[in-house]
Structure 1
Amino acid sequence: MSSDVAAPAVLPTRFQCPLCLDLLTSPVQLPCCRKHLCLVCFERAVQLTSTNCAFCRKRIVGFARRQSKKIDEALWVEIQSQTHGMDTFMFDDDGGTTNAAMHLHDAAAPGELQSYYEERVAAAERERAAREEEALAATMRLLEAEQLHAPSTPGHTADGERATRPSSTSDESKRRSADRVFAIFASAKPLQRNHASVAPKSRKPMKLASSSSSSTKKSWACPGCTYLNWSHQMHCVMCRTRRGPTR
């Protein structure tokens, strides 16, 4: 058994509240930007924004304190007359229709975001590996080109092997080098030092330590307990024995 479903009515966007995105109820027109809001949305916006317009941020404290004549009666009557008896409706948005009663969001399937993330990570890894391989190949080509076009140094062949020379030539070059070094040292003048200008450092005579120990002069041993007492003490500190005559 089939039943005909009535299509939703299309309403102009001026009947839609820009805050709650629903049909205007008791519309209030703002004095600054001339927008229409629901009365409930307007009062809530004034509480949150401290008597400032939610759109242009201008102060509307005088209009907010007004108790009457806030509602646009003409627009409210027009809305009621066009939406009387409607169950579903849609708003016309620049030639297209958008459902204001229900805003649907495209939700991803379970696991779809994870698979997309893994695919992007794998693609980034492949791109990085390709760049590294390309850079390595370019470096190898550059090294090979430098080896091919590098000039051969004296004493070396093109294959990198050192050329052999007769031993007589090497001995002769060594002998010439030794002769040049000897000639340089022979022609050099010895450094003459003016001994008169440099005065010898005077050394102070060192005092020899006296053979007699200073400890014997400053202390005396007790004949009873052998305790060492200072020279100014006439009795032993330990046993109180009187000091004997000094030599």
Structure 2
Amino acid sequence: MTAILERRESTSLWGRFCNWITSTENRLYIGWFGVLMIPTLLTATSVFIIAFIAAPPVDIDGIREPVSGSLLYGNNIISGAIIPTSAAIGLHFYPIWEAASVDEWLYNGGPYELIVLHFLLGVACYMGREWELSFRLGMRPWIAVAYSAPVAAATAVFLIYPIGQGSFSDGMPLGISGTFNFMIVFQAEHNILMHPFHMLGKPLRTNLLMRVTDSVKRKKLTIS
């Protein structure tokens, strides 16, 4: 009997990293989009939690009348929010190093812009990661396509609308009461309930939900 010994080619560290990143055998698929998704979402989540608990009041209107949104400044879970960046900043890119001090950065609502930009980049990468996993498994990309709807909605209220209004201060506050306040102000200023696309979208969504529910019920009856 002849034994053939074959020398195994040593893979470089970068090669092993690439194989691990793109492997579908991992419990949670990472992918190349995940390399960017993980740090951006972790950053957004960490800053959100810290700011929601302890951020000082923010001069949202740029008129030196700061509004408090954190728990340590008198709010509860319902009324608390991350207050949008000051109107004095407008649409300027406002990282920490652009401010004279951290206190000034907090006073002008820097955490809001940091959270929103990291969050939008993170969820966009999450969508790309869904497509990447589908591609590697030989699946169609419909999961990523479906997820593009909430990504588009988040981009609309956190980025597109503030750009249209000329300031991040018009973005949606990151909180429960802040969300409802944004909806009420949006209706008062733009009368979105009378927009034909909005009126058309509501019954279409309800009709689609009813059809899906009915289809699920029929399948359950068929199985039983």
TM norm structure 2: 0.17
The structure whose RCO (Cα within 8 Å, separation 6+) is larger is 2
More helix by share: 2
TM norm structure 1: 0.16
Please say which structure displays the higher CA radius of gyration: 1
